[in-house]
C-alpha cells in the first residue's frame, strides 16, 4: 500500500515526502513540474535514501491519474498540487479555479473510482479571511477571502466537506497552514521561487545574499507592537511532520476535519529581520514603504486542536527557521539551478 503525494516536488511536498518516508510510509509522487524542477526530485530521493516512484502528471489529466491508481495500490492522497501566488490569482482567476478547484474535483473522481477515499489537503489560514481575530480557531467562520487564490482553498474545503457528507466512507483533513518558512537542515532542498519573491523569507534571503538590494517593509502603521505585520511562521519540517501525523489520523477516522498547522506565536516583520540578522550574522537592509493591498495586521493560530487530535506541535524556533533558510539560500544561490 502506498500514499500518493500530488505536488510532491514543490516546497512543502518535497519536505513532506522525506518525513513520510522516514516514518515508514511507501510513497508515490506526482507533479507536472509547473513550479518545481526535476533536480528537487533527485535531491529528495537522495535525502530519503530510496528510489521513490514518480509520475510526471497533471491532476487535471484523468487518464494519467487512472494509470497511477492502476499501477499502484494507493490508500490515501496527500494533496499539495496547486497554484499559490496571491497576486497572480487576481489577474488570472480562471487559471486558478481550473487548476486548483477543477484539478481537485478531477482527482477526487479518480480516487472514488479507485475506491481510495482518504485525503490530506493543503488548505491555508487565508480561509479565515479578514474578519476573524487571532488566535484563529478552526470553528471560526471561513470564506471572507479577498483574492481568487484564497477562494480556491475555501471552495475546495467546502467541496471536500460535501463529498464526506455524501459518502461516509470518505476522510478528509483540511490542514490550514500558517506561514511556512525555513528549509531542510541538510541545505539540499528549500523554497525556490521563480523571479522576484512575493513572500517575506525568500525576499530577506535574497537581500542577505546580495541578489536584491533591500527589503521593502509593507507598512509600519498597523496596530501591532512595532507597527509592522504579524504572522505565525512555521518551520517547513515541522509542517511536514504535521502531515505525517494527519495521515496517521486519517487512517483511523472518517469524515472531514479542519486543523491549523501553526506555532501559535506571532512575529512582526521587524522581529523576523532581527532574528535573521542575529541567527546568521548578515545584515538585511530595509526601507519602510506603504501597506500592501489585501494584507491584514495580525494572523496567528490557535494550534491546540492539532495537539489534541494529532499529538503534534511545532518544535523548531524562529532562529532555526532563519538559520535553515539561510543555509539553503547560501548553499544554493540560484536555487535548484545552482
Ligand atoms: P509549490 O508551488 O512549491 O508546490 C506545488 C507543486 O504542485 C509544484 O511542484 C507544482 O509544480 C505542482 N503543481 C501545480 N499544479 C499542478 C497540477 N495541475 N498538476 C500537477 N502538479 C501541479 O507550493 P508549496 O509552497 O509547496 O505549496 C503546496 C500547497 O500548499 C499548495 O496547494 C499551496 O497552495 C498550499 N499552501 C502553501 C502555503 C505557502 O505559504 N507556501 C501556505 C498555505 C497553503
Ligand atoms: N512583507 C513585507 N515585505 C515583503 C514581503 C512581505 O513587509 O517583501 C510582509 C507582509 O506585509 C506580511 C508579512 O511580511 O506582513 C508576511 O508576508 P508573506 O507574503 O510572506 O505572507 P502572507 O502572510 O502575506 O501570505 C501567506 C501565504 C499566502 C496565504 C497567506 C494567508 O504566502 O499564500 O499567508 O494564509 F494566502
Ligand nearest, relative to CA of residue 130: 2
Of 157, 163, 146, 183, the residue nearest 296 (C-alpha)? 146
Name the residue of 144, 220, 231, 271 to mutate for ligand 2: max ligand atoms within 8 A of Cβ. Answer: 231
**16 Cβ inside 6 Å of ligand 1:** no
pLDDT beneath 50: ranges in the chain: none
**Alpha carbon of 240 to ligand 1 centroid (Å):** 14
* 87, HSE (Cβ side, Cα atoms, 13 Å): 7
Measured by CA distance, the residue closest to atom 29 of ligand 2 is 126
Contacts of 317 (CB under 8 A, 6+ apart): none
Distance CA 292, CA 86 (A): 12
**179 Cβ inside 6 Å of ligand 2:** yes
Ligand nearest, relative to CA of residue 176: 1
- Can you give the pLDDT at residue 336? 96
Ligand nearest, relative to CA of residue 151: 2
Model confidence pLDDT, tens digit, residues 259-312:
999 999 999 999 999 999 999 999 999 999 999 998 999 999 999 999 999 999
* Residue 149 annotated as catalytic: yes
Measured by CA distance, the residue closest to atom 15 of ligand 2 is 229
**176 Cβ inside 6 Å of ligand 2:** no
Of all residues in the chain, what percent carry a pLDDT higher than 90?
A: 98
**84 Cβ inside 6 Å of ligand 2:** yes
Nearest ligand 2 atom to alpha carbon 230: 15
- Can you give the pLDDT at residue 77? 98
**188 Cβ inside 6 Å of ligand 2:** no
- Model's pTM, two decimal places? 0.98
Measured by CA distance, the residue closest to atom 6 of ligand 1 is 7
Which listed residue (55, 97, 128, 149) is catalytic? 149
Measured by CA distance, the residue closest to atom 20 of ligand 2 is 199
- Can you give the pLDDT at residue 19? 98
- Can you give the pLDDT at residue 263? 98
> Following DSSP, what letter does each residue of 7-38 receive, concatenated?
TTTSHHHHHHHHHHHHTT--EEEEE--SS--H
Of 220, 218, 180, the residue nearest 295 (C-alpha)? 218
**174 Cβ inside 6 Å of ligand 2:** no
Contacts of 199 (CB under 8 A, 6+ apart): 179, 181, 191, 193
- Can you give the pLDDT at residue 271? 98
Query: 107: cis peptide before it, omega within 30°?
Result: no
Nearest ligand 2 atom to alpha carbon 177: 35
**286 Cβ inside 6 Å of ligand 2:** no
Ligand nearest, relative to CA of residue 100: 1
- Can you give the pLDDT at residue 56? 98
Dihedral sign, Cα of residue 91, residue 95, residue 97, residue 100: negative
**180 Cβ inside 6 Å of ligand 1:** yes
Measured by CA distance, the residue closest to atom 34 of ligand 1 is 84
Amino acid at each position: 500500500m502506498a500514499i500518493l503525494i500530488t505536488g510532491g516536488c514543490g516546497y512543502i511536498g518535497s519536505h513532506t515526502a522525506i518525513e513520510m518516508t522516514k516514518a515508514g510510509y511507501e510513497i508515490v509522487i506526482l507533479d507536472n513540474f509547473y513550479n518545481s524542477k526535476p533536480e528537487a526530485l533527485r535531491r529528495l530521493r537522495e535525502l530519503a535514501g530510496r528510489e521513490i516512484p514518480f509520475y510526471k502528471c497533471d491532476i487535471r489529466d484523468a487518464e494519467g491519474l487512472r494509470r497511477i491508481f492502476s499501477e499502484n495500490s494507493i490508500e490515501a492522497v496527500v494533496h499539495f498540487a496547486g497554484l499559490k501566488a496571491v497576486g497572480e490569482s487576481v489577474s488570472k482567476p480562471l487559471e486558478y479555479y481550473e487548476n486548483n478547484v477543477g484539478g481537485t474535483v478531477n482527482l477526487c473522481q479518480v480516487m472514488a473510482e479507485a475506491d481510495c477515499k482518504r485525503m490530506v489537503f493543503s488548505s491555508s489560514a487565508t480561509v479565515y479571511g479578514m474578519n476573524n481575530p487571532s488566535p484563529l480557531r478552526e470553528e471560526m467562520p471561513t470564506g471572507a477571502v479577498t483574492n481568487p487564490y484564497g477562494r480556491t482553498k475555501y471552495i475546495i474545503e467546502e467541496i471536500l466537506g460535501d463529498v464526506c457528507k455524501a459518502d461516509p466512507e470518505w476522510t478528509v483533513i483540511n490542514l490550514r497552514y500558517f506561514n511556512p518558512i525555513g528549509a531542510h537542515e541538510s541545505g539540499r532542498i528549500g523554497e525556490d521561487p521563480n523571479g522576484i519573491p512575493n513572500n517575506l523569507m525568500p525576499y530577506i534571503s535574497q537581500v542577505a545574499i546580495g541578489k536584491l538590494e533591500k527589503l521593502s517593509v509593507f507598512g509600519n502603521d498597523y496596530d501591532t507592537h512595532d507597527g509592522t505585520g504579524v504572522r505565525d511562521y512555521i518551520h517547513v519540517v515541522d509542517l511536514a511532520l504535521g502531515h505525517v501525523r494527519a495521515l496517521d489520523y486519517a487512517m483511523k477516522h472518517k469524515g472531514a476535519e479542519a486543523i491549523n498547522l501553526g506555532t501559535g506565536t506571532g512575529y512582526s516583520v521587524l522581529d523576523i529581520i532581527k532574528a535573521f540578522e542575529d541567527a546568521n550574522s548578515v545584515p538585511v537592509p530595509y526601507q519602510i514603504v506603504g501597506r500592501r493591498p489585501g494584507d491584514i495586521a495580525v494572523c496567528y493560530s490557535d494550534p491546540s486542536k492539532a495537539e489534541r487530535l494529532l499529538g503534534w506541535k511545532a518544535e523548531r524556533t524562529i532562529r532555526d527557521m532563519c538559520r535553515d533558510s539561510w543555509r539553503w539560500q547560501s548553499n544554493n544561490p540560484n536555487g535548484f539551478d545552482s
